[in-house]
Chain A
């Protein structure tokens, strides 16, 4: 069973339906016991980093998520759910779960590029990565993004894909049992569903 963690940060319906569409058995939950017994975790979320950490904290889920990840559970973070894995964010100068060393930074451009970075953009694989979640997805496929902050891992080895928007930012990470994507696979039509299917099949 996949626990889709509900911590009050945005609508989880699309993520849940998309996971079900590709064969996932899911429970949308904030219940510690259900999360404890899940075989995979999905942490979705849109909105403010600081609010998200507050919510996770008040649900007493921070240490549980850390613990499950340490134990090796298959984990997928989407958008804000990716960013929360990092050490800290510029958004509200807030500490994150600190599972992946690195920072979450705000897009800041001199050139006339719009923020949020909103829409479909090409996702380029980092060839050294052996992560299976991108398997069968052609390099440079387009995925749907909607965000103003991006992650900067300290360690290059965690980078799975990069995307160009003013700079080449990390659009997906993979480290052991942890996968995190900045884009929304649940909103990225066929390629998004393919990624979710890969996550379910290779976990």
Chain B
């Protein structure tokens, strides 16, 4: 049976990893290539690079990082951040990325999803959705909101609300040819209190393509919860792995002990 995937995500700025990485035995703990290789050795199922500089001037830097990664790392690599045109996608794939993750540009120009999936295939076209619970009505009473919550899609790194309903948008990107959805809960992100299970479950049930859950991982049980109750196909996590709180191997073993199919 298909295994659930564990995917560490690296924020990359000007070719360097942003958040401190606390591993021993790395020559250069700021080099995304070394860290990706480390995660691959540990048994990560994929690696994601998020280019948070992503200005036009910085494009050549991330392409170089992707090229070096493709020389060393033989698991799938997804790259996101600052992709606005087919040419960006083409360059990343030609440099050795296996998938690209499109966020803001997908909302501004949904045709890009169709074009990418037609030209390069659905399997390499990931759409990232940043979703936030809309606080309508009695917004002070948070407890009531989650039961019939509606999530709004945000773009520009979470700065700009779009008025799009996250569930509807998820279905639309699927029909446009996206092969996967990388779903981040803006409410859970950075809390370390667990993934947004309801959001993830609702999105996962409303589409037929895989959903990667992101935002909120604080311990291994959180991974388990979102893969079981949240019906996610994969989990993305950053800090719990970067700070050495858990190794990928520990995560896999924990999930397997709970009856989740993970790679052996």
A-side interface residues toward B, CB under 8 Å?
10-11, 13-14, 17-18, 21, 46-48, 112, 114-122, 140, 142, 144-148, 164-165, 184, 186-189, 192-193
Contact = CB atoms under 8 A, between A and B. Distances in A.
A114 to B, nearest CB: 5
A17 B124 contact: no
A18 B2 contact: no
B95 A120 contact: no
B71 A117 contact: no
Contacts of B234: 119
A121 B2 contact: yes
B76 interface: yes
A189 B73 CA distance: 8
A148 to B, nearest CB: 7
Contacts of B95: 13
A89 B209 CA distance: 22
- Indicate the size class of the contact surface on chain B: 35 or more
Given A11-B96, A47-B120, A116-B209, A192 B74 contact: yes
A184 B264 CA distance: 17
B106 to A, nearest CB: 18
Given A11-B98, A116-B179, A188 B210 contact: no
Given A46-B123, A114-B208, A120-B3, A187 B96 contact: no
B45 A120 contact: yes
Interface string B92-112: 011111100000000000000
Given A11-B94, A11-B96, A189-B40, A114 B123 contact: no
Nearest to B4: A119
Contacts, number: 100
B94 A13 contact: yes
14 contacts: A10-B93, A11-B96, A14-B70, A47-B121, A117-B2, A118-B123, A119-B3, A119-B5, A119-B233, A120-B2, A120-B45, A121-B2, A145-B2, A189-B74
Contact of B120 (A10, A14, A188): A10
Nearest to A79: B123
B1 interface: yes
B263 interface: yes
B210 A14 contact: no
A122 B1 contact: yes
A76 B257 CA distance: 37
B75 A187 contact: yes
Contacts of A142: 3, 263-264
Given A46-B121, A115-B209, A187-B98, A13 B75 contact: no
Interface string B1-17: 11111000000000000
Given A13-B94, A144-B76, A118 B3 contact: no
Given A10-B93, A187-B75, A121 B121 contact: no
Nearest to B66: A13
A5 B134 CA distance: 51
Contacts of B1: 121-122, 164-165
Nearest to B118: A48
A119 B123 contact: no
A146 B96 contact: no
B180 interface: yes
Interface in B161-195: 179-180
